[in-house]
Chains A and B, each alone.
Chain A
Amino acid sequence: MVKYILKRIGAMLLTLFLIMTLSFWIIRLMPMSIFENPATPPDIQKLLMAEMHLDKPLFVQYLYFIKGVVTEAEFGTSVQIRPGMDVFEILASRIPPTVLLNIMSLLISIPLGIVFGTIAALKRNKATDNIISFLIVICISVPSFVFASVLQYVFTFKIPIFPTLYDTQAATFAGTMHSLLLPIIALALGPMATIARYLRGELIETLSSEYLLLARTKGLTRTQATVRHAFRNSLVPIANTIIPLITGIMGGSLVIEKMFAVPGMGGLLIDSIMAGDHFLTVSLLIFYSTISLITILIVDISYGIIDPRIRVGGGK
């Protein structure tokens, strides 16, 4: 198992390096000067460019970039959004709201998805299942920003019980959550429905499997057999859907953050691309990739925990 995890981490670092290289070249080859501020005197501009190695060929700049990242975890300096500020510091100030939003959406969508999926599978083809399945289709097919608009309209305008925008001044965690609840719900509905739909299908298949029949001939009641033998087996394929869910939530979060004025990474990414703040854009891309890669790593490891065939079979 340890060997398996180490192998996965190694592959992950290699992927990360490739992503860094790719995003550096793609962003830096864009036809936009990185350092264009008419307010700065030309000789100072020259000095700054020399300090940031911007006067050297792009390949040499790439080597400096890699060296900075590997040796001192130094991603560069922002030149447009917050001139002169270390990119890492800007990120650090923007990460908490985004992470809070994304994690809360996941934490809500996974358990609820599991609950609804299980209910639908157990009540297969009955009224309960039909209602849940109908709602699932709606939640999957409608994009999160539509839910966001509807929620905003209903709960901040018609029935004003939530603030329209994210409250940056909230003193307590509860206050923050109060203003973040609508975007969280808007983001969570889609993933929740995806999980419910997959789990329903998987569970129905496991429930009609031979080993569940054997479990019942052992003398287990239907409930015991379902909980002990069907449930965990259905979770193995579900783990697979978590990866696209998380990237989906992050992608949706870009738009949702704008709509609710959440001062997170999403808005920052759009701003930095528009402003041509290349160092910032590259580091944001790397940040998003890292999150995705970590998710994939966690899911891969959890496979091994859920399914012994991967743990034992793959290791030796």
Chain B
Amino acid sequence: MAINPNETVLKVEDLRISFKAYGGMVQAVRGVSFDLKRGETVAIVGESGSGKSVSIKAIMGILAPNAVIESGRIEYDGMDLTKVSEEDFHKIRGNRIGLIFQDPLSALNPIMKIGKQITEVLHLSKKISSEEAKHRALELMHAVGIPEAERRFNQYPFQFSGGMRQRIVIAIALAGDPEILICDEPTTALDVTVQAKILELINKIKEERHLSVIFITHDLGVVANMADRVNVMYAGKIVESGTSEEIFFEPAHPYTWALLSSMPDLQTKERLLAIPGTPPNMIYPPAGDAFAARNKYAMKIDFEKEPPSFKLSDTHYASTWLLHPKAPKVDLPDVLRARIERMKGAK
């Protein structure tokens, strides 16, 4: 397959999603735009409730029944996925876009044999005999690193460890031979040692199968290993986007600073910095910058008017008033600056 590195496979434009709840409409996603180019990994980073998973579910067409897509487009292969009917969507899911779940312990059907859960996908995508399906499923199981695949084929999920189950979930996602792989916090539920292996595996299959990957996580350490480009999400918006280098070495948004400072590294000796407060109530999203209330650099305008997106380079954008020409000059927090120096030195 010829890879044109600048070809955009998926483009999300000004996506707004709300949930009907008792107290009103919860505005989970408020105008998210990003794109995915062929063969790259794009990360979406943010804390719980920032709207990462909801955006992904919209791409997969598996939003909860009380979710409403209020506006926006998801362009894929000449289609707008927000308008595709349920009847047509199941031809895209699995076949064209695959999803790896957050919690492999609950993502597999507990009373169906592992083998059948994989071959089921194969039978869906094309007409093949059951022997051939089994053969292909065993190949997939080898590819994701399951030892003794032949014996494992007839076992049930409860006979697998967490890491092994995640490998099976990956095999299921790959079985439909998709071109886009979405990973929704694939390592959150796993041990740290297993995490590294699963990340390695995702990188490996991405190379082998020329996949384009959207990687959702709240763990910036994971992002550094995986992503070409990073979108930082807060309260339903992308507040900063850029290449991995730009986000890690030249972060511009105070929220990105806070996220980076709250991440320990091997040299961390001080108390770890936590971000004060909690994310805002999204039934009544605050006027202005949603992060202002938790931001020690917030200015008066942050509480009144939403910051526009400021362009820092062709790839690097951030939405914060601090970048406005009239804003006072604010330096990076000391902890962060010291850390960036170290990281640059290590590179």
Question: A residues near B, CB below 8 A?
Answer: 209-211, 213-222, 228-229, 232-233, 236, 306-309, 312-313
* A308: chain B residues within 8 A (beta carbon): 111, 113, 156, 158
17 A-B pairs within 8 Å (CB atoms) are namely A210-B103, A211-B108, A214-B172, A216-B90, A217-B93, A217-B173, A218-B93, A218-B124, A219-B90, A219-B94, A219-B125, A220-B90, A220-B124, A229-B112, A232-B111, A308-B158, A309-B111
Contact in complex: A211, B176 (CB < 8 Å)? no
Decide: B111 and A216 in contact? CB cutoff 8 A.
no
B125-141 CB contact bits vs A (8 Å, 1 = yes)?
Answer: 10000000000000000
B214 contacts chain A at the CB level, 8 A cutoff: no
- Check A211/B120 contact, CB under 8 A, given A218-B93, A218-B94, A219-B95: no
CB < 8 Å neighbour of B158 from A210, A213, A313:
A313
Asked if A309 and B158 sit within 8 Å, CB to CB, the answer is yes
- Which residues of B sit under 8 angstroms from A217, Cβ to Cβ? 60, 62, 93-94, 98-99, 173
Q: Which residue of the partner chain A has the closest CB to B155?
A: A312
Given A309-B158, A313-B158, A218 and B121 contact (CB-CB distance below 8 Å): yes
Query: Could you say which of A209, A214, A232, A308 has the most chain B C-beta atoms within 10 Å of its C-beta?
Result: A214
CA distance A211 to B156 in the complex (A): 14
Write out the residue numbers on chain A whose beta carbons fall within 8 Å of the beta carbon of B125: 219
Is B120's CB under 8 angstroms from A220's CB? yes
Q: Is the interface of A mostly helix, strand, loop or mixed?
A: helix
Within 8 Å of chain A (Cβ to Cβ): is B110? yes
With the chains together, A39 CA to B90 CA distance in Å?
A: 83
Is B225 positioned at the interface, with any CB of A under 8 Å from its CB? Answer: no
Q: Would you call B109 and A219 a contact (CB within 8 A)?
A: no
**Residues B59-118 near A (CB distance < 8 A):** 60, 62, 86-87, 90-95, 98-99, 101, 103, 106-113
With A210-B101, A312-B159 given, is the CB distance from A236 to B111 under 8 Å? Answer: yes
19 new A-B pairs (CB below 8 Å) besides A214-B101, A214-B108? A210-B103, A213-B107, A214-B99, A214-B107, A216-B62, A216-B90, A217-B60, A217-B93, A218-B94, A219-B94, A219-B95, A220-B120, A221-B90, A233-B110, A308-B111, A308-B158, A312-B156, A312-B159, A313-B158
A-B pair count, CB < 8 Å, reads 79
Q: Are B86 and A219 in contact (CB under 8 A)?
A: no
* In contact, A211 and B62 (Cβ under 8 angstroms): no
* Residues of B near any A CB (own CB < 8 A): 60, 62, 86-87, 90-95, 98-99, 101, 103, 106-113, 120-121, 124-125, 156, 158-159, 169, 172-173, 175-176
A217 to B173, CA, bound (A): 8
Q: Which residues of B contact A214 (CB under 8 A)?
A: 99, 101, 107-109, 169, 172
Bound-state CA distance A309–B159 (Å) is 9
Chain B residues within an 8 Å CB radius of A215: 109
Given contacts A309-B156, A312-B156, contact A219 B176 (CB under 8 A): yes
Question: Are A218 and B109 in touch, CB under 8 angstroms?
Answer: no
Of A215, A218, A309, most buried by chain B (CB within 10 Å of CB) is: A218
Residues of A within 8 A of B92 (CB): 219
State the CA gap A218–B97 with chains docked (Å): 9
6 closest residue pairs by CB, A with B: A219-B94, A210-B106, A217-B99, A218-B94, A211-B109, A214-B107
In the complex, A217 Cα to B95 Cα: how many Å?
9
Q: Is A218 a contact of B172 with CB atoms below 8 Å?
A: yes
**Pairwise interchain contact A219-B158, C-beta atoms closer than 8 A:** no
Residue of A nearest to B175 (CB): A218
Docked CA distance A290–B125 (Å): 51
Q: Which residues of the other chain, B, contact A210 by a CB distance below 8 angstroms?
A: 101, 103, 106-107
Chain B residues whose C-beta falls within 8 Å of the C-beta of A222 in the assembled complex: 86
**Interchain CA distance A250-B114 in the complex, whole Å:** 41
**How far in angstroms is the closest Cβ of chain A from B97?**
8
A209, B112: Cα distance in complex, Å: 15
